[in-house]
Chain A
Amino acid sequence: MSPEQWTRPEAEGADGPPAAIAAKPTREQVIAGLRATSEGGADLVQLLTPEGQRVTHPDFDIGVSDAQLRDLYRDMVLVRRADREGNALQRQGQLGIWVPLLGQEAAQIGAGRAMQPQDMAFPSYREHGVAWCRGIDPTELLGIFRGTDHGSWDPNSMRFHLYTIVIGNQCLNATGYAMGQRFDGKVGDPNGEATMVFFGDGATSQGDVHEAMVWSAVYDAPVVFFCQNNQWAISEPIERQTRVPLYRRASGYGFPGIRVDGNDVLASLAVTKWALDECRQGNGPVLIEAFTYRMDAHTTSDDPTRYRLADEQEAWKLKDPIERLRVHLVREQIADQGFFDGVDAGADELAARLRDFCFNMPEPPPERMFSEVYAEDTRQLAAQREDYLKYLAGFADDAMAGGVR
């Protein structure tokens, strides 16, 4: 089925239902399908094999220059290093928690680099790679995990909303934003605007995600639902969330759904670019299921050895998104050792900068607790702030007088 057909739900009916549904699979077959590895899923869009071989796809092939390939590689390496540094900083007690993105670099860089400056992104909490593509410096992510702020960037000017911790909430917020893009007349030409929202496989069980898909369909909102199926929602496997492959759900809402190899940065880029263009042109929404794997723990507080097998992780290691692009660059002589050394040096620098920044982050002053709660401050809050600051000042006097608390 071509992407053109996907934009017309009834076209699917004309072709008859997909084979898997027509055959009425048993529950075991459905689960087997869900567990299909990236080589196994018949509908998976792939442009770069795990062995680093460039392959073509009838609908989603894109031309990518050598320079772009090197850039994508650099993005992934830098983002991975920032992520590993975040993990290390948590282990050293510098951060309260860290949410690793290890293994999901290709999905996020592919999607992030497909976005245009005028597009808007609504992340969940693991989107460090997308943040990178939106121009958010990784240092700006640290405050969230160190507890100094809830995100320091300006969501409007960066066109990257704050991280959303409540699973699924951001899908509705993104849909509303995309409705606004449509109401503003920014949809319907190749330079139009689109919105992309990021969420996990676990999130697909939430009512908000379902509601967002209903709303975006009935309002033709230019929103790309980008689901990173990393196979696990903390300890709950994908089978605990669904009986059909997630991308197939889109047809129930009346828009196209596509499963892409989330460990293949080229496929992720190509499919997301196509989906965003569909939205720009007014043919959205689109659901993308990026089939990938969370290589590290859910967060630094998690213990994946309690629920998953080492075998599974070993199998996915062979599909590493960075390694496959590196092999491709080497084999095709697109990059030499000097390039790789340069990228690594850049990564070392970034890690050092993050560490430094983290060690020197100022604590927020106590008045931050009371500031910007409202656009129009309330008298009660002003009084509470004043009382609290006075109360704190009392201790300062004690300390000066050598008093003991």
Chain B
Amino acid sequence: MAAPALERPTTTAGAQTITIAKALNMGLRASLERDPKVLVMGEDVGKLGGVFRITDGLQKDFGEHRVLDTPLAESGIIGTAIGLAIRGYRPVCEIQFDGFIFPGFDQIVSQLAKLHFRSQGKLKMPVVVRVPFGGGIGAVEHHSESPESLFAHVGGLKVVSCSNPVDAYWMLQQAIECDDPVLFFEPKRRYYEKAELDPGTPPVPLFTSRVVRAGSAVTVAAYGPMVRTCLDAATAAAEDGLELEVIDLRTLSPLDLDPVFDSVRRTGRLVLVSEAPGEASVTSEIATRVQQECFYSLEAPVLRATGFDTPYPPSKLEEGYLPDLDRVLDAVDRSLTY
């Protein structure tokens, strides 16, 4: 059964300047209000409001049966969410940190991804798995990883990542409304960045990418935390008279590459940016598809600025590991030398 359609606007509040963290909290609240079948579940999501406080206050207002403080077991969180979905619920699972999703990986790829296909459509799996991901916060190991490509590789899953408060608010509600399992990657190092959100403004569709800054020299595409970095790089480049076009990919599976193709046909150049290691990743996939679609428009090979193909390093080294403004601009410069 489908969730009740998003009504717009959902709140009476007007425009406000809020963080991504607050926007996610508001998105969860709106979904919990809209549909009594929506559940929030995870470690510490109740009384504490989650280690990032994304679920702050929800258990107080919706009760322990809607917002579940679970035992400490990721396979348990995903595995029981699957059973609850079979029963007609729409669970939103929180995985505390990226590096801890692996105990739940089996349930995600073996059951969650496949049950719709295996049952020939008789079982729907409207489960959202929220994952605060990525580095740059000086954390200990297992707290800074970018495992999104592993999930994009799995048929039956959908994978998205938000980069700003407006998307955070809407994309989360849209993901909860979706009858397919959605892995929802939240840029944890951007949680406290602010922007203006007007809940009265209608959202863009969930599984689409978007040009967030227009330009004609080089196309730069990124998702999640790297969108901010690319926008900053574009501002810096503009000071030197170079206009970068920045695309926020937003959806990693299914990919929405039409805006990328359009842009590359105009600029002839593409730089892909991600924190995740480049090997066998979402960015490799995009590079392949762009050379298939835009072969005759390309003035330079598709270049990338990504994390290295290593385990995430100790945090004293992460500044070098993570693509920053300079590495993005370096890739842009290399693209322009062809």
Which residues of A are in contact with B by a Cβ distance under 8 Å? 122, 149-152, 154-156, 161-162, 164, 166, 169, 171-181, 183-184, 207-208, 211-212, 214-215, 218, 371-376, 378-381
- Is there contact, CB below 8 Å, between A176 and B81? yes
- Is there contact, CB below 8 Å, between A161 and B71? no
How long is the Cα–Cα vector from A381 to B116 in the complex, in angstroms?
15
Contacts of A181 in B (CB 8 A): 87
How long is the Cα–Cα vector from A155 to B158 in the complex, in angstroms?
23
- Is there contact, CB below 8 Å, between A172 and B80? yes
How long is the Cα–Cα vector from A379 to B71 in the complex, in angstroms?
38
Of A151, A164, A176, A371, most buried by chain B (CB within 10 Å of CB) is A176
- Is there contact, CB below 8 Å, between B76 and A214? yes
- Is there contact, CB below 8 Å, between B71 and A177? no
- Is there contact, CB below 8 Å, between B86 and A374? no
Q: Which residues B88-124 have CB closer than 8 A to chain A?
A: 88-89, 103, 106-107, 110-111, 115-124
Tell yes or no: B8 within 8 A of A by CB. Answer: no
Tell yes or no: B45 within 8 A of A by CB. Answer: no
- Is there contact, CB below 8 Å, between B75 and A173? no
Contacts of A180 in B (CB 8 A): 83-84, 86-89
Q: Which of B79, B117, B255 contacts A169 (CB 8 A)?
A: B79
17 A-B interface contacts by CB (under 8 A): A162-B115, A166-B111, A169-B106, A172-B79, A180-B87, A180-B88, A181-B87, A208-B75, A208-B106, A211-B79, A215-B70, A215-B71, A371-B121, A374-B156, A378-B158, A378-B254, A380-B254
- Is there contact, CB below 8 Å, between A162 and B119? yes
How long is the Cα–Cα vector from A164 to B83 in the complex, in angstroms?
13
Contacts of B73 in A (CB 8 A): 207, 211, 214-215
Contacts of A207 in B (CB 8 A): 73, 75, 103
How long is the Cα–Cα vector from A149 to B121 in the complex, in angstroms?
12
In the complex where A181-B87, A215-B80 touch, is A372 in contact with B254 (Cβ < 8 A)? no
- Is there contact, CB below 8 Å, between A156 and B122? yes
Contacts of A184 in B (CB 8 A): 87
- Is there contact, CB below 8 Å, between A155 and B123? yes
- Is there contact, CB below 8 Å, between A376 and B83? no
Q: Which residue in chain B gives the minimum CB-CB distance to A182? A: B65
Q: Which residue in chain B gives the minimum CB-CB distance to A382? A: B254
How long is the Cα–Cα vector from A172 to B121 in the complex, in angstroms?
21
The contact string, 1 if C-beta is below 8 Å from chain A, for chain B 265-285, is 000000000000000000000
In the complex where A215-B76, A376-B180 touch, is A179 in contact with B120 (Cβ < 8 A)? no
Contacts of A174 in B (CB 8 A): 83
How long is the Cα–Cα vector from A305 to B116 in the complex, in angstroms?
39
- Is there contact, CB below 8 Å, between A373 and B155? yes
Of A152, A177, A214, A371, most buried by chain B (CB within 10 Å of CB) is A177
- Is there contact, CB below 8 Å, between A376 and B179? yes
Tell yes or no: B131 within 8 A of A by CB. Answer: no
Q: Apart from A184-B87, A379-B254, what are 13 other A-B pairs with CB-CB below 8 Å? A: A150-B119, A155-B119, A162-B115, A173-B79, A178-B83, A183-B65, A208-B106, A214-B71, A371-B120, A373-B116, A373-B156, A375-B121, A380-B254
Q: Which residue in chain A gives the minimum CB-CB distance to B122? A: A154
- Is there contact, CB below 8 Å, between A372 and B80? no
Contacts of A183 in B (CB 8 A): 65, 89
Contacts of B180 in A (CB 8 A): 374-376
What range describes how many residues of B lie at the interface?
A: 35 or more
How long is the Cα–Cα vector from A175 to B83 in the complex, in angstroms?
7
Contacts of B88 in A (CB 8 A): 180
Contacts of B84 in A (CB 8 A): 176-177, 179-180
Tell yes or no: B82 within 8 A of A by CB. Answer: yes
How long is the Cα–Cα vector from A39 to B90 in the complex, in angstroms?
48
Q: Which of B83, B103, B124, B179 contacts A177 (CB 8 A)?
A: B83
- Is there contact, CB below 8 Å, between A176 and B80? yes
Tell yes or no: B178 within 8 A of A by CB. Answer: yes
How long is the Cα–Cα vector from A161 to B118 in the complex, in angstroms?
11
Q: Which residue in chain A gives the minimum CB-CB distance to B91? A: A176
- Is there contact, CB below 8 Å, between A161 and B116? no
Chain B nearest CB from A399 CB (Å) reads 29
Contacts of B124 in A (CB 8 A): 375
Q: Which residues B34-87 have CB closer than 8 A to chain A?
A: 65, 70-71, 73, 75-76, 78-87
Q: Which residue in chain B gives the minimum CB-CB distance to A144? A: B118
How long is the Cα–Cα vector from A372 to B114 in the complex, in angstroms?
10
Chain B nearest CB from A291 CB (Å) reads 27
Q: Which residues B217-236 have CB closer than 8 A to chain A?
A: none
Contacts of B80 in A (CB 8 A): 172-173, 175-176, 179, 215
Q: Which residue in chain A gives the minimum CB-CB distance to B103? A: A207
How long is the Cα–Cα vector from A152 to B120 in the complex, in angstroms?
8
Chain B nearest CB from A365 CB (Å) reads 13
- Is there contact, CB below 8 Å, between A372 and B79? no
Q: Which residue in chain B gives the minimum CB-CB distance to A195? A: B83
- Is there contact, CB below 8 Å, between B86 and A177? yes
Contacts of A173 in B (CB 8 A): 79-80, 82-83, 86, 111
How long is the Cα–Cα vector from A154 to B120 in the complex, in angstroms?
9
- Is there contact, CB below 8 Å, between A375 and B79? no
Chain A nearest CB from B322 CB (Å) reads 29
- Is there contact, CB below 8 Å, between B254 and A172? no
In the complex where A214-B76, A215-B71 touch, is A162 in contact with B118 (Cβ < 8 A)? yes
Q: Which residue in chain A gives the minimum CB-CB distance to B157? A: A374
- Is there contact, CB below 8 Å, between A176 and B118? no
Contacts of A212 in B (CB 8 A): 76, 79
User: Which 4 interchain pairs have the tightest Cβ spacing?
Assistant: A176-B83, A172-B79, A180-B87, A176-B80
- Is there contact, CB below 8 Å, between A172 and B179? no
Contacts of B111 in A (CB 8 A): 164, 166, 169, 173
Chain B nearest CB from A40 CB (Å) reads 36
Chain A nearest CB from B121 CB (Å) reads 4
Chain A nearest CB from B315 CB (Å) reads 30
Q: Which residue in chain B gives the minimum CB-CB distance to A183? A: B65
Q: Which residue in chain B gives the minimum CB-CB distance to A218? A: B71
In the complex where A166-B111, A181-B87, A207-B103 touch, is A376 in contact with B178 (Cβ < 8 A)? yes
In the complex where A169-B106, A376-B178, A376-B180 touch, is A176 in contact with B87 (Cβ < 8 A)? yes
How long is the Cα–Cα vector from A374 to B112 in the complex, in angstroms?
11
Q: Which of A152, A172, A372, A379 contacts B83 (CB 8 A)?
A: A172
Contacts of A171 in B (CB 8 A): 79
- Is there contact, CB below 8 Å, between B75 and A211? yes
